[in-house]
Amino acid sequence: MNYFKWLGTTFMVLCAFSCSQEDIVETPENLTTTEIAAPIAKRAGLKPIGSGVMMQAFYWDVPAGGTWWNVVNSKVADWSNAGIDAIWLPPASKAQNGPFSMGYDPFDYFDFGEFNQMGSTETRFGSRSELIDMIDTAHENGLSVIADIVINHNSGGDSEANPYTGGNTWTDFNPMSGNFYRSATDFHANNVHNNDSGAFGGYPDLCHHQSYVQDWLWKNPNSIAKYYRDVIGFDGWRFDYVKGFEPWVVKEWKNEVGGFSVGEYWDSNVSTLNYWTSTAEASAFDFACYYKMKDAFMGNDLTALNDDMLWKQNASRAVTFVTNHDTDEIINNKILAYAYILTHEGYPAIFYKDYEEWLNKSQMNNLIWIHNNLAGGSTSILHVDTDEYIAKRNGYNNNGLVVYINNSDVWQERWVETNWSNTVIKDYTGNSNWEPTTQSGNWVKLQAPPRSYSVWSVK
């Protein structure tokens, strides 16, 4: 999440991320077998996460009024047909700001729009039944559903005397769901320690070292993690603000309930990102890639794409992106940035507004198809200068590709060494009508139009 904004208001990774049947058969206390069986049965035909492209299915301040789950419900079939394999939803439970909240100020983790508290019954996005209907539709269309989990801070508690601070704090949480009551001992400071790795915005900061907190978050049969998975139907997790707590929390959560896991570790330092993913045993959004693309496409210097990124260190742990609900700084030639992430390694995520409103949907669908069908194997950079970037994917179970990004104002041509000898190739974007034959030594002349790109593979 964007903290300034808040203060103002590949199949190759499947084995690391996807949950097994063993992960989803434990029955939580006080829940019926029917409640558990329904979401499990609907997971049978899901696409493997990482085999396609993730859709961030929201943006900051989506329309209020309880309509958003229905909006997403109406689009998941088309997204699946386009090559999306998972959708990432905003925090789905009731937050302090009730009908106006984007969910990042969580109050009752078990209220998905069914209890009249915090100023509304429904959440900003809709009711519990609308959420479950939407998740069911996603599953019917082969899509996994990723929950945005905010477990660093809470909001909306009542004031109480706090023996650890000597004053009053807003740490008395009495949710109407009757689940996960919290008090001062569950937050920092407490009897365990004064703080962990990061508080946020002055809100009560959960202490993950307390066994009671661990039990409610992920350990118990009726924990948040298991309720989200087994009853609501979520398949994976996007952990918000993971700088606020240690990586072992994500690791233990994932080990307990399974599912694809990705952390928002907002940092451009590749070594730091790589350390976090290794320690948490989860993916991270590739902010290093994001900021290098910003330098390349906003700074008009494609040599920035030579620099290090998480996907270059460990592609199986990198979720690449061009825009999200917090960051929209790559404005010039944004489609070129999508051409980059959708032809390179990592698990690319696309942003709702980019896809549905701001960019050409036909171009986006073409790039998604290219990613899913041609972009296999390791990456080799063939040429880079201020205006031109050419790289090839070396292929596995497919022929690979060559992507040519041109950030200049004129057509560009260049001889490059491909993977193919004496082979007719074509541009799968349609931006060039050339169909050259590679030489016996794999060399061929390619071209790319101004402020655009071409993607070449075997015809």
Write out pLDDT tens, residues 304-329.
999 999 999 999 999 999 999 999 99
Q: For 93-113, what is the mean pLDDT?
A: 97
Domain boundaries, the chain: 53-376
Spatial separation of the C-alpha atoms in residues 302 and 287, rounded to whole Å = 17
Residues labelled catalytic: 240, 264
Residue with more model confidence, 18 or 203? 203
Residues 6+ apart with CB under 8 A from 450: 406, 408, 409, 410, 411, 412
Reported as a pLDDT band with limits 50, 70 and 90, residue 142 is very high
Average pLDDT, the chain: 92
Q: What separation in angstroms does the CA of 269 have from each of 265, 287, 308? A: 10, 8, 9
Q: Let me know: does 401 contact 456? Beta carbons within 8 Å.
A: yes
Percentage with pLDDT > 70 across the chain = 90
- Percent of the chain residues topping a pLDDT of 90: 86
What's the CA gap between 187 and 171, in Å, rounded? 7
Given the structure tokens 């071409």, which residue do they identify?
A: 454
Q: What average pLDDT score do residues 43-59 get?
A: 94
Q: What is the pLDDT of residue 242?
A: 97
What mean pLDDT comes out for the span 103-114?
A: 98
SS3 186: helix
This prediction's pTM: 0.91
Average pLDDT on 176-184 reads 98
Q: What's the average model confidence in pLDDT over 13-36?
A: 43
H or E stretch at 131: helix 128-140
Q: In 3-state terms, what secondary structure has residue 234?
A: coil
**168 - beta bridge partners?**
161
What confidence score (pLDDT) does residue 116 get? 98
- Over residues 267-284, the pLDDT tens digits come to 999 999 999 999 999 999
What is the pLDDT averaged over residues 417-443? 96
* Amino acid 202: pLDDT: 72
Residue 119, SS3 per DSSP: coil
Reply yes or no on whether the pLDDT at 453 is more than 80.
Answer: yes
For residue 35, what pLDDT is reported? 60
Binding residues for Ca(2+): 152, 385
The CATH label, of 3.20.20.80, 3.40.50.740, 3.30.390.50, 3.40.50.970, for the domain at 53-376 is 3.20.20.80
